[in-house]
Structure 1
Amino acid sequence: MSARLVLLGPPGAGKGTQAARLSDRLGIPAISTGDIFRANVAEQTELGKRAQRYMDAGEYVPDEVTNAMVRDRLAQPDAADGFLLDGYPRTADQVDELEGMLSADGQRLHAVVELTADTDEVVTRLLKRAEEQGRPDDTEVVIRRRLEVYAEQTAPLAATYAARGLLVQVDGIGGLDEVTERIMTALAPHLN
Structure 2
Amino acid sequence: MRIVLVGPPGAGKGTQAAFLAKNLGIPHISTGDLFRANISQGTELGKQAKAYMDAGNLVPDEVTIGMAKDRMEQPDAVNGFLLDGFPRNVSQAEALDEMLKTEGMKLDAVLDLEVPEDEVVKRIAGRRICRNDSAHVFHVTYKQPKSEGVCDVCGGELYQRDDDSEDTVRKRLEVYHSQTEPIIDYYKSQGLVVTISALGKVEEVTGRAMGALPRP
TM over 0.5: yes
Report if aligned partners of 2:29, 2:82 keep a CA contact under 8 Å in 1.
yes
Kindly state the Cα deviation for residue 130 of structure 1 after the two structures are TM-superposed: 4.2
Is the 2:4–2:86 contact (alpha carbons within 8 Å) kept by the matching residues of 1?
Answer: yes
1:149-180 per-residue CA deviation (whole Å, 9 max, x = no partner) reads 11121221000101100011111111111101
Q: Give the corresponding residue for 2:177.
A: 151
Bigger mean CA offset, 35-44 vs 134-143: 134-143
Q: Output the CA distance in 1 between the equivalents of 2:102 and 2:127.
A: 41
Paired residue type of 1:82: G
Q: Which residue of 2 aligns with 1:171?
A: 197
Letter in 2 for 1:182: R
Say which is worse superposed, 144-153 or 71-80, in terms of deviation. 144-153
Q: CA RMSD in A?
A: 1.2
Structure 1: how far apart are the matches of 2:119 and 2:197? 12
Q: Give the stretch that moved more between structures: 146-155 or 79-88.
A: 146-155
Offset, 1:128: 2.2
Question: In structure 2, how many angstroms separate the alpha carbons of the residues matched to 1:169 and 1:39?
Answer: 31
User: Amino acid of the residue matched to residue 124 of structure 1?
Assistant: K
In 2, distance between residues paired with 1:177 and 1:107? 30
Higher RCO (C-alpha 8 Å, min separation 6): 1
The answer (yes or no) to whether the contact 2:9–2:120 under 8 Å persists in 1 is yes
The CA distance in 2 between the partners of 1:145 and 1:27, in whole Å, is 35
The superposition leaves residues 67-126 of structure 1 with CA deviations (integer Å, 9 ceiling, x where unpaired) of: 111000000001010000000001111111101111111100000001010111111111
2:126 aligned partner = 128
* In 1, Cα distance between equivalents of 2:159 and 2:25: 34
Residues 11 and 147, structure 1, Cα contact 8 Å, conserved in 2:
yes
Deviations 1:133-154 (A, max 9, x none): 7343121111111112111212
Gaps of 5+ in 2: 130-137, 139-157
Deviation at residue 65 of structure 1 after TM alignment: 0.9
* Residue segments in structure 1 that go unaligned for 5+ positions in a row: none
Post-superposition Cα deviations, 1:37-65, rounded to whole Å, max 9, x if no partner, equal 11000000111001100000111111111
TM-score by length of 1: 0.94
Larger helix fraction of residues: 1
State the AA in 2 paired with 1:191.
R
SS of the equivalent of 2:195 reads strand
Amino acid aligned to 1:112: V
**Count of aligned residue pairs for this structure pair:** 188
Whole-angstrom CA distance in 1 between matches of 2:12 and 2:180: 16
Q: Is 1:191 aligned to 2:189, yes or no? A: no
Instruction: Report the structure number with the largest CA radius of gyration.
Output: 2
Paired residues for 1:112-127 under 5 Å: 112-127=110-125
Contact 2:11 2:120 in 1 (8 A): yes
